[in-house]
Amino acid sequence: MVVLQDAQGLVFWNEYDIASFQPEFRNRWRAVHRNGSVAHRPTPPPAGPWLPLGRGLVLPQHLQHQKDSAGFPFPQAILDPVPEPPDPNRHIYALQSDHKKRCVWKTDRGDRIEKSTSAAQAAKTMPEMVMLKKGLYVNRHRIARVQRRHPVALIILDNGQVYTVTDLGNGLPERLGLPNLVHLEPRCEALYGNYQLREWPFPLVEASADFLRQTFATARQLIAHLIFQRLRYIQTGDTREWSNSYRGFWYEWLKETLQRAGFLEEQEMEWEPPEEPEEVLRRGARPAEMLYDLTFRIFGHFVLDYELFTFREFGFQASHPECRLIGTTRPDVLLVCEKSEFAEWGMRLHQEFGVSLRLLSGQPSALMTEFMAAELKARVHGPIRILAYVDYDVGGWILARALAKQLKRHGIQVSEVVFFIHQDAFTPEEKRLHAHPLPAGSAADRTKSKAWFAETHGVDGRPRGLHADHIQPYERLRSLFLKHL
């Protein structure tokens, strides 16, 4: 038996039922059952009856027209079938001790009781029998699936018989040669978790409505598979002209496919996405907008959380290059401007002092940060300092630190984040007139405001903030900047 993993958990396939093995993403191996089912292993398959063909392994008797039973292509070759050896004990699926400690032989032909021996004694003569728990042994060749149902695990045989064991299995994983009863190691949540990513032998954007509706239960799952399929096309050398933006990906891959799958209504097809993803989700958003925003969040999971690929590997290009500029003389100093209103003076500081510049208009775009990190790496060989031209309040400080965190994720060392707009930069009159209360609309807002106030002491000991817009004229801002340059 070969242990694999699919959407429901661990599966156990007979070697002679596996039509093909093929190396896939990150050295994961794809297995195709003779019935067309697909499952995976995070490591190469064990030694078995398969014959090498191309980059994979096959059983010739399960190939038709140079394709395996799931439709994945293989090179043309003349290979003889591999005969399956007899398995004389396969009809015996379990041995179980009854209340009189007699052995009950559970077979496809019916049960029989042997009075002179126990299940443990009978199992000693049959190496294919594995103990599930005291007094119960099953034929490892008949195990079809293991599913976790906390706090137990279900051992499901190929005839539908189900046995229950404790979650830890009392040593059962070791007896089966497994790390546990839940997953194979090494594991990746994106590949084996919610998304169940896999390759397909045809473009999903060309799949029929019936196939899409039967295969994908949620829009999230379908979007994830469309992202993964395009990534795999690029990785395997498909050189066609790909859309290089979120907006282009929506039109080229998502829009019609989601509609055909039943996740997007006909009347929503006219909706046009904005240029920047940060502008999408808002209160009362339309269904198409919500699906568009879901796409960005899935990209975030894949790129930032699971690190399956980068935006550049996917073929995306960051828009607005004027919002990220590398300094000519001080590229290791990064001036971060929170608002578009700060852009003009930020640009003047960039030009006068040769520092790098990042202009924000809300949360920093992970896509743009990835491109800027690559540009910084080409010019800076060491840590950088961030000088934050942001409001003296919770939001401004969070944005600057979020950018620093993104840069660190891409290998840029950030030695410090300096907020040079602080309460000492304002006059007593400005504090009296312009201090504003901290966000307190939700529990999360109150927690963030409390933490910021504990660090900064607000405005003269009060939980207040100040907008950097009140630092005028330019020479005043320039002087504050120079103190920390």
Cα distances from 231 to residues 199, 223, 238, in angstroms, run 10, 12, 10
**Does residue 345 sit in the same domain as residue 477?**
yes
Q: Is 471 found in the same domain as 356?
A: yes
Residue 234 pLDDT greater than 80, yes or no: yes
Please report whether residue 82 resides in a domain: no
Domain boundary among 314, 340, 362: 314
Residues 375 and 434 in one domain: yes
Confidence (pTM):
0.85
Q: Which domain holds residue 33?
A: 2-62
- pLDDT tens profile 358-413: 999 888 989 999 999 999 999 999 999 999 999 999 999 999 999 999 999 999 99
pLDDT on residue 281 = 53
Q: Which two tokens stand for residue 355?
A: 């520092």
Structure confidence at residue 26 (pLDDT) = 87
221 in Cβ contact with 196 (< 8 Å)? yes
Report helix angle 343-353 to 474-484, nearest 10: 50
Residue 444's pLDDT band (cuts 50, 70, 90): very high
Mind listing the pLDDT tens digit for each residue in 102-150? Answer: 999 999 999 999 888 899 999 999 999 999 999 999 999 999 999 988 8
Q: How far is CA 115 from CA 53, 64, 105, 131, 384, in A?
A: 51, 50, 11, 20, 79
Please tell me the predicted confidence (pLDDT) of residue 169.
Answer: 66
Read off the amino acid at residue 93: Y
Name the helix (H) or strand (E) containing 155.
strand 152-157
Are 232 and 348 found together in one domain?
Answer: no
Show the CA angle centred on residue 395, arms to residues 394 and 398, nearest 5°.
85
Name every residue whose Cβ is closer than 8 Å to that of residue 196 and which is 6 or more positions away in sequence.
6, 7, 221
Residue 8 lies in a domain: yes
Query: Is residue 304 domain-shared with residue 358, that is, in the same domain?
Result: no
Average of per-residue pLDDT across 163-184:
87
Phi, psi of 274 (to 5 degrees): -75, 170
Q: For residue 422, which amino acid is it?
A: H
CATH at 157: 2.40.50.1020
Burial of 200 (0-12, 13-18, 19+ CB in 10 A): middle
Statement to judge: residues 355 and 298 lie in one domain: no
- Sequence-ordered list of residues with C-beta below 8 angstroms from that of 75, at least 6 positions apart, any chain: 53, 54, 66
- Per the structure block, which two tokens stand in for 480? 């504050």
Give mean pLDDT, residues 289-295: 91
pLDDT (0 to 100) of residue 191: 81
| Average of per-residue pLDDT across 236-259 | 92
Q: Would you say residue 16 has pLDDT above 90? A: yes
Domain membership of residue 67 (yes or no) is no
Sheet holding 384-389, edge to edge: 324-325, 355-359, 330-337, 384-389, 414-419
Based on the domain organization, do 300 and 338 belong to the same domain? no
Number of domains in the chain: 4
Shared domain for 480 and 373, answered yes or no, is yes
Q: Within a domain: residue 214?
A: yes
Is the pLDDT reported for residue 276 higher than 70?
A: no
Please state the rounded mean pLDDT for residues 7-34: 94
The answer to whether 314 and 230 have CB atoms below 8 angstroms apart is yes
Question: What is the average pLDDT score of the chain?
Answer: 93
Asked whether residue 70 is domain-assigned, the answer is no
**Co-location of 348 and 454 in the same domain:** yes
Alpha carbons within 13 angstroms on the beta-carbon side of residue 84 total 14
DSSP letters, 322-372, are: GGEE--SSEEEEEEEE-SGGGHHHHHHHHHHH-EEEEE-SSSPPHHHHHHH
What average pLDDT does range 176-200 have in this prediction? 85
